[in-house]
A and B are shown apart, each in its own frame.
Chain A
Amino acid sequence: MQLKYDIPAAKALPLEEGESLYYCVPYDVSQEDRSWITDGYLAVSSKRVFVLRGSEVVKTYTISQMKHTRAEVTIGGGMLVTTIDGVQNFIVRYSAKHRTRFAYMARGINILSKGRTEMVESHEHETQCPVCGRALTQSGICPKCADQGGLFRDFVKLVVPYRKRIVVITLVMIMASVVTLLNPHLQGKLIDDVFKSEDGSMQKAMLFLGGMFFLGAGIVVINVIKTYLCTLLGTQIAKDVRKTLFDKLQRLSVQFVNDRRPGELMERVVYDTGNIKQFMQNTFCNLFTVVIIFALDVIFMVLMNWKMALLAFTSAPFGVWFTLQFRKTIRRRYHMQFRREDEVSSNLQDVISGMRVVKTYGKEAKEKQKFDDLAEQFSKISFSNERFWALFNPLIHFIMGFGIFFVLMYGGMKVLDEEMSSGDLFKFVTYTNMLYQYIQWMTSMPREITGLISSMERINDVMMQEELIRDDDDAIRHDIEGEVEFRHASFGYKSYEPVLEDINLKVKKGEMIGIVGPSGAGKSTLINLLMRLYEIDDGELFIDGIPLKDIRNDYYHSQLGVVLQETFLFTGTILSNIRFAKPDASYEEVIQAAKLANAHDFITKMPDGYNTYVGEKGMTLSGGERQRIAIARAILKQPRLLILDEATASLDTESEFLIQQALERLTQGRTTFAIAHRLSTLKNADRLLVIDDHTIAEIGTHEELVAQKGIYYRLVKAQLEMQAQAGA
């Protein structure tokens, strides 16, 4: 991301000796009337900050007086604020476009105000292409300027691996075209040589009819082969795209997946790849046949009688023009139909998942009304679209086929004048009809292609995402000992909104760290970083003194044991769920793990024991039961690093007590990070970490923190009071 724009106004700044320009970034909202502007810049030199508007310096600040400069996020934008003599000063405002840039500015100014001279740099991508202004993908690639050839080349790339099969299909298609075109020729001959000819005989007629029969049968056979090959091709391409897409989805960051509705990603894997299949099968495979026949058809017609051919063509341009005119309308109409359909299904999903709430609040009638309205809207638009199509299609047909009347009139006159044989006229008329038929077919192409393009766009959106966490080539396989160190670690899900700032923490091997703090303070984020679901923005994270990013990701993950608050069980048996992380575990090991997790008893009581089917279509387990299976899963793995995020929060007191004891054994000698709201859960922790206001507010043993009488002390007191009140 650019932090030093080269503008004349910045060069013209009256800098003193020894003062040099550090940064120059644009702001795009006027300070007076909050309107868009294009000539506002903030220039930062080693000593001063200048607010520029055009070539004029509007405000100047002295950096040595600026304390604690911040880029505050506002609704839809942001502002740069600094404290001078204890008073907070507004410096400049900007739209959301420049939030990140100004977050860097604030950092840069703070560094300078502390007397340091290093320059901050940003490795983030711009959102717009500096050359053409188009939106860049997350990987910072301009779809146009990077010239990957756009969607056409993407499509070529997609089908190239199947080129051999496509050659075969093309040959079949050529055969189909030849056979199709030969038929009218024979029919014309039959009329001229048998019906109208003096020496027409039954024998000759049979010969022609036999020929026509074979051609007819030939078309059927060729079409069957063609359909078979095309279906195979379409299915295979779709399967391969689906595989790559799924693979990519798995490698993408949690953030990308979190940013989207689950249904949306499913749709891309299932529906959009299905669209590609449909296109390959129905459109692409007929494309060559149609183009070949169309070309030959035109050539034949021109060769037979060019004047008549011209007459036949007259109406076609109108038809095509008409169709193209309606292309946008068609797209808009079907898009809206698709949207309404989507609304109906998401509303349905909402109501079904929220059934209990709807029922307990007695809102069935209202929900019914809402659904009826949506269904009504959908039915209206689909009816309107069908009607439109029903009207539009014959109309095009009519306009397109108008030329046939001229052909018949002109050709008929020629036949009467005996300048043309009736067989030839028949042949010509058949070719003309064929031509219209194929033009007609081609007019539906825009619709098919639009469908393909939007599916490919959606697939590309996924494929072009950058994998945020990727192993370096020289990443190592490291067996974790259990020492963890955060050094000046900062992180934000959005770079302008830090969630954790300057985290410094050194954890010894085998230590248990309890993490407490108010919701939203960044506890889970800290753990997400430790699990390497996200990469830290600034600072470093070491495992046994090795930077985490130098350790192979899959190898690292295979040594983590994680129990989260919400446990997900995969469709399958309890056995396969416990074995998830260690598929080759023996029955004894599984039972042992289940016993340690206090799960063995309830599993045994299930009708199918460890083979009980759970998951979406299986047995429903309670939250506590699921949790215990998750704990068994973690125990079985014998992890080197254990992470517990509210692991026992959803359990009843008795199971919690039992599991606490089980966990004690599990955490023995293992580095453990445990988040808990109930402080009693953390009584075994060697040290407690209080996270508040984006950073480590307090750290120490239970006794130390209580003695400090800070946040932890207040939390303990509040919980004791709650217990006392509950007991009273």
Chain B
Amino acid sequence: MSKEINERKNVGVSQEAVDQMITTRLLDDAKVRFIKTEGGFLSLETEEKKYARVKVLRLFPFTDPNRYISVRDHNDKDREIGVIEDLAAMSEETQKLIHEQLDLYYFTPVITKIFSIKDEYGYAYFHVMTDAGECKFAINMGANAVARLSDTRLLITDLDENRFEVRDVSKLTVKEQRRLDLFM
């Protein structure tokens, strides 16, 4: 049976809703089954119910992308079904399926190399290499396009609202860091 972090006994009509709200249900690999759907998504079978399409969301996308993954019922306003505490603890098959879906829902290319940054008319034009390939994008220098997630980690949002991550500024070459300095 799935573990429950919180348990509260109470009476009342809407108590069930309260319980549902405050309880985190951890999904146990042995009790639930993820199945890839014909349409390319993921369905879930638990002991009680079958969910035709579930959505997976990272609770800590930056600090712990592979732990605490919320599994939600897409057809019921994304209501949370449960949480996968540690993806690595799941079966290989499940891991593969979940990673595939995470890849589908998340698109934040990681910048690995900065070829050039040119600024002009209040916009900065980046030409970079990312883990999704080479690309060019532009940011507005006036708005807060560059957010500092930590001292060395940056999240850059371009004009189209695409997001790019710099995992560790200090791992870039000095020349590349200099180019970035204007936005730090």
Query: Which A residues are closer than 8 A to B by beta carbons?
Result: 29, 34-36, 74-77, 79, 81, 84, 87-90, 93, 95-97, 99, 127-128, 133-135, 143-144, 150-151, 259-261, 264, 331-332, 335-336, 339, 457-458, 460-461, 693, 717-718, 721, 725
Whether A87 touches B122, Cβ cut-off 8 Å, given contacts A74-B104, A76-B162, A259-B143, is no
A336→B40 contact, CB < 8 A: no
**B172 sits at the interface (CB 8 A):** no
CB distance from B36 to the nearest CB of A (A): 11
Residues in B with CB closer than 8 Å to A133 are: 136
CB proximity to A under 8 Å, residues B85-114: 103-109
CB contact between B107 and one of A75, A81, A458, A460 (< 8 Å): that residue: A75
A29→B160 contact, CB < 8 A: no
CB distance from B182 to the nearest CB of A (A): 5
A95→B107 contact, CB < 8 A: yes
- How long is the Cα–Cα vector from A128 to B137 in the complex, in angstroms? 10
CB contact between B122 and one of A74, A81, A331, A461 (< 8 Å): that residue: A461
B123→A87 contact, CB < 8 A: no
**B120 sits at the interface (CB 8 A):** yes
Q: Which residue of B lies closest to A75 (CB)?
A: B106
- How long is the Cα–Cα vector from A133 to B184 in the complex, in angstroms? 25
B142→A458 contact, CB < 8 A: yes
Residues in A with CB closer than 8 Å to B105 are: 74-75
B142→A457 contact, CB < 8 A: yes
Residues in A with CB closer than 8 Å to B121 are: 134-135, 143-144, 150-151, 457, 460
Whether A332 touches B162, Cβ cut-off 8 Å, given contacts A90-B40, A693-B77, is no
Residues in B with CB closer than 8 Å to A135 are: 121, 123, 125, 138, 140, 159
**B14 sits at the interface (CB 8 A):** yes
**B7 sits at the interface (CB 8 A):** no
Query: Which B residues are closer than 8 A to A by beta carbons?
Result: 12-14, 37-41, 52-53, 61, 74, 77, 103-109, 120-123, 125, 130, 132-136, 138, 140-144, 159-163, 178, 181-182, 184
- How long is the Cα–Cα vector from A605 to B184 in the complex, in angstroms? 53
Q: List 22 A-B contacts (CB under 8 A).
A: A29-B132, A36-B130, A74-B107, A75-B107, A76-B106, A77-B162, A84-B39, A88-B53, A96-B107, A96-B162, A97-B162, A127-B160, A135-B140, A264-B142, A332-B182, A457-B141, A458-B122, A461-B122, A461-B140, A693-B77, A717-B13, A725-B12
CB distance from B85 to the nearest CB of A (A): 21
Q: Which residue of B lies closest to A260 (CB)?
A: B143
- How long is the Cα–Cα vector from A336 to B179 in the complex, in angstroms? 12
Q: Which residue of A lies closest to B75 (CB)?
A: A88
CB distance from A710 to the nearest CB of B (A): 16
Residues in A with CB closer than 8 Å to B104 are: 34, 74, 79, 90, 93
CB contact between A460 and one of B41, B122, B184 (< 8 Å): that residue: B122
CB contact between B14 and one of A336, A693, A718 (< 8 Å): that residue: A718
Residues in A with CB closer than 8 Å to B107 are: 29, 34, 74-77, 93, 95-96
Residues in B with CB closer than 8 Å to A335 are: 181-182
Residues in B with CB closer than 8 Å to A331 are: 182
With A29-B132, A88-B41, A99-B161 known, 18 other A-B pairs at CB within 8 A are A29-B107, A75-B61, A75-B106, A76-B107, A76-B108, A76-B163, A88-B37, A88-B52, A89-B39, A90-B39, A134-B125, A143-B121, A332-B178, A335-B182, A457-B142, A458-B142, A717-B13, A721-B13
Residues in A with CB closer than 8 Å to B182 are: 331-332, 335
Give the one of A75, A143, A264 with max B CB within 10 A. Answer: A75
What are the 7 closest A-B residue pairs judged by CB atoms, nearest first? A90-B40, A89-B39, A97-B160, A457-B122, A76-B107, A77-B107, A143-B121
- How long is the Cα–Cα vector from A725 to B61 in the complex, in angstroms? 40
- How long is the Cα–Cα vector from A663 to B137 in the complex, in angstroms? 53
Whether A134 touches B120, Cβ cut-off 8 Å, given contacts A29-B107, A75-B108, A89-B39, is yes
A87→B13 contact, CB < 8 A: no
CB contact between A96 and one of B61, B135, B160 (< 8 Å): that residue: B160
B103→A88 contact, CB < 8 A: no
CB distance from A370 to the nearest CB of B (A): 12
Residues in B with CB closer than 8 Å to A721 are: 12-14
- How long is the Cα–Cα vector from A717 to B108 in the complex, in angstroms? 44
B40→A89 contact, CB < 8 A: yes
- How long is the Cα–Cα vector from A721 to B143 in the complex, in angstroms? 47
Q: Which residue of A lies closest to B144 (CB)?
A: A261
B132→A87 contact, CB < 8 A: no
Residues in A with CB closer than 8 Å to B163 are: 75-76, 96
Q: Which residue of A lies closest to B135 (CB)?
A: A36
CB distance from A367 to the nearest CB of B (A): 18
Whether A96 touches B143, Cβ cut-off 8 Å, given contacts A34-B103, A34-B132, A339-B184, is no
CB distance from A496 to the nearest CB of B (A): 10
Residues in B with CB closer than 8 Å to A128 are: 138, 159
Q: Which residue of B lies closest to A458 (CB)?
A: B142
- How long is the Cα–Cα vector from A460 to B135 in the complex, in angstroms? 28
- How long is the Cα–Cα vector from A87 to B53 in the complex, in angstroms? 9
- How long is the Cα–Cα vector from A27 to B30 in the complex, in angstroms? 39
- How long is the Cα–Cα vector from A501 to B145 in the complex, in angstroms? 30
CB distance from A415 to the nearest CB of B (A): 50
Residues in A with CB closer than 8 Å to B106 are: 74-76
CB distance from A656 to the nearest CB of B (A): 25
Whether A87 touches B37, Cβ cut-off 8 Å, given contacts A74-B106, A79-B104, is yes
Residues in A with CB closer than 8 Å to B12 are: 721, 725
A336→B143 contact, CB < 8 A: no
- How long is the Cα–Cα vector from A384 to B167 in the complex, in angstroms? 27
Residues in B with CB closer than 8 Å to A144 are: 120-121
Residues in B with CB closer than 8 Å to A460 are: 121-122
Residues in A with CB closer than 8 Å to B142 are: 264, 457-458, 461
CB distance from B145 to the nearest CB of A (A): 11
CB distance from B154 to the nearest CB of A (A): 13
Residues in B with CB closer than 8 Å to A259 are: 143
- How long is the Cα–Cα vector from A88 to B181 in the complex, in angstroms? 45
B160→A95 contact, CB < 8 A: yes
Residues in B with CB closer than 8 Å to A261 are: 144
Q: Which residue of B lies closest to A714 (CB)?
A: B14
- How long is the Cα–Cα vector from A264 to B40 in the complex, in angstroms? 45
A88→B184 contact, CB < 8 A: no
- How long is the Cα–Cα vector from A424 to B122 in the complex, in angstroms? 51
- How long is the Cα–Cα vector from A90 to B36 in the complex, in angstroms? 12
Residues in B with CB closer than 8 Å to A332 are: 178, 181-182
- How long is the Cα–Cα vector from A264 to B134 in the complex, in angstroms? 33
Q: Which residue of A lies closest to B161 (CB)?
A: A96
Residues in B with CB closer than 8 Å to A29 are: 107, 132
- How long is the Cα–Cα vector from A693 to B79 in the complex, in angstroms? 13
- How long is the Cα–Cα vector from A331 to B135 in the complex, in angstroms? 26
Give the one of A96, A128, A151, A259 with max B CB within 10 A. Answer: A96
CB distance from B101 to the nearest CB of A (A): 10
- How long is the Cα–Cα vector from A133 to B136 in the complex, in angstroms? 10
Residues in B with CB closer than 8 Å to A461 are: 122, 140, 142
- How long is the Cα–Cα vector from A332 to B106 in the complex, in angstroms? 33
- How long is the Cα–Cα vector from A484 to B40 in the complex, in angstroms? 45
